[in-house]
């Protein structure tokens, strides 16, 4: 019996070490891929650009966002803001800015139809009003450098892509944010080989982050704008996949030098904000979610508590467990340094994975039960 346990133990740790090595290599290759394809902002003249910002209850952020976008090196652009029936002072703040800056146009959003979610509906309305050849979508809680619009035009040109997105810089202040927001880096650290997006026609390897997306308007129009993702909370990822599946070229780049964002102000809002996307990201497939939860529990989380137990009991697999934990810490450290975050946060990875498992279960429960997530004064199911 002891030999059987040792056999399964050897097999488990072999798989764990192989996975940990793969994730380390994948993260390194993806980081190199993003940096290789990303160009510094150069363009100051060129096609007309429409910067589109959906706003709902963003009175604390929108003025700062707009002020940063009004101070751009690129000259040929407009800013369109849609107030999506905010219940705070957002509309009045934006209205005052438009009176002083004709470059900014403000619209009131239509009532939300039953078959749409709020953000895709707001983006659909904005994209219909945009006049630019290039459209830049960004969020109201972002802060832009003076070259962010130039960067979008430069990188659409240099990559030959029709659609670009990427990681913006993340401002993490509270402990809750530090064990929640970095979960988004799993996309390119543990899941998606970005190079496959170049070589395969399928949209499976395409991804995006809605904090910053630049797309050619004729491409967006030919894809039906946001009609295909109207009932998605992770509309950014599904839009990237949809555009790629239509035969267009997408790229995922490094935008951290151009745009900063503090996505959430505390742990609860981070759990609600990310949790509402997890089950939707997996196509609301319960079987797939269950398989991923089991795999993540076994191979991404358990190596840490097993190491603690093995150290306390002088177990036979201490060396293997130590190797797996070191590899995971190296991977997270690499991701954090690349994202210009304190690499000491990487030691929190067991809490991040545990938090991910909790949010995945919560995402499933709140979706299938119909309870939904409270977000910006609406319930998202």
Full DSSP string of 36-67:
HH------SS-S-EEEEEEESS-TTTHHHHHH
pLDDT band at 136 (very low <50, low <70, confident <90, very high): very high
Q: What pLDDT is attached to residue 45?
A: 96
Per-residue confidence (pLDDT) for residue 3, from 0 to 100: 66
Q: What mean pLDDT comes out for the span 267-285?
A: 95
Cα distance between residue 381 and residue 367, in whole Å: 5
Tell me what pLDDT residue 1 has: 55
- According to DSSP, the β-strands at 77-83 and 104-108 are parallel
338, pLDDT greater than 90: yes
Strand-strand pairing, 169-170 and 104-108? unpaired
Question: What is the mean pLDDT of the segment spanning 78-83?
Answer: 98
Mean pLDDT of 337-356: 95
Distance separating alpha carbons of residues 229 and 281, to the nearest angstrom: 12
What distance in Å separates the CA atoms of residue 256 and residue 144, rounded to the nearest whole number? 10
Percent of the chain with pLDDT strictly greater than 90: 91
269: CB partners within 8 A, 6+ apart: none
Give pLDDT, residue 189. Answer: 84
Instruction: Kindly report the number of other CB atoms within 10 A of residue 359's CB atom.
Output: 22
Query: Which tokens go with 329?
Result: 């810490």
Q: What is the mean pLDDT of residues 278-297?
A: 97
5 pLDDT higher than 80: no
Q: Domains of the chain (ranges plus CATH)? A: 2-32+275-380 (no CATH), 39-168+209-265 (3.90.550.10)
- What is the predicted pLDDT for the residue at 52? 99
For residue range 234-272, what is the model confidence (pLDDT) as tens digits?
999 999 999 999 999 999 999 999 999 999 999 999 999
pLDDT digits (tens, 9 = 90+) for 175-224: 999 999 999 999 888 889 999 998 999 999 999 999 999 999 999 999 99
15-36 pLDDT, tens digit each: 999 999 999 999 999 999 999 9
* pLDDT higher than 90, residue 109: yes
The average confidence (pLDDT) of the chain is 95
Query: How many C-beta atoms lie closer than 10 Å to residue 24's C-beta?
Result: 18
């Amino acid at each position: 019996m002891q030999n059987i346990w040792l056999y399964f133990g050897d097999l488990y740790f072999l798989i764990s070490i192989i996975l940990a090595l793969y994730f380390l290599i994948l993260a390194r290759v993806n980081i190199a891929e993003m940096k290789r394809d990303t160009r510094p902002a150069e363009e100051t003249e060129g096609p007309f650009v429409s910067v589109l910002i959906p706003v709902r209850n963003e009175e604390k952020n929108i003025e700062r966002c707009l002020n940063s976008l009004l101070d751009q090196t690129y000259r040929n652009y407009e800013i369109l803001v849609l107030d999506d029936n905010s219940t705070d002072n957002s509309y009045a703040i934006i209205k005052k800015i438009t009176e002083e800056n004709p470059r900014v146009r403000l619209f009131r959003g239509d009532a939300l139809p039953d078959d749409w979610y709020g953000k895709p509906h707001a983006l659909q309305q904005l994209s219909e009003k945009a006049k630019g050849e290039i459209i830049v979508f960004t969020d109201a809680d972002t802060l832009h450098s003076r070259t962010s619009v130039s960067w979008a035009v430069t990188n659409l040109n240099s990559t030959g892509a029709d659609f670009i997105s990427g990681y913006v810089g993340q401002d993490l202040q509270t402990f809750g944010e530090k064990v929640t927001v970095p979960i988004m880096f799993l996309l390119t650290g543990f899941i998606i080989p970005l190079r496959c997006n170049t070589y395969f026609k399928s949209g499976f390897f395409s991804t995006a982050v809605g904090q910053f997306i630049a797309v050619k308007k004729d491409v967006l129009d030919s894809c039906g704008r946001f009609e295909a993702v109207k009932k998605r909370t992770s509309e950014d990822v599904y839009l990237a996949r949809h555009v790629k599946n239509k035969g267009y070229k997408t790229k995922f780049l490094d935008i951290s030098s151009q745009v900063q964002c503090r996505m959430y102000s505390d742990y609860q809002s981070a759990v609600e904000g990310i949790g509402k996307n997890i089950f939707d990201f997996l196509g609301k497939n319960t079987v797939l979610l269950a398989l991923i939860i089991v795999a993540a529990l076994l191979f991404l989380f358990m190596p840490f508590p097993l190491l603690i137990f093995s150290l306390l009991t002088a177990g036979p697999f201490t060396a293997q467990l130590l190797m797996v934990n070191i590899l995971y810490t190296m991977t997270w450290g690499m991701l954090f340094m690349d994202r210009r975050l304190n690499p000491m946060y990487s030691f929190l990875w067991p809490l991040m994975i545990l938090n991910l498992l909790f949010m995945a279960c919560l995402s499933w429960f709140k979706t299938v039960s119909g309870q939904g997530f409270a977000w910006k004064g609406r319930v998202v199911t």
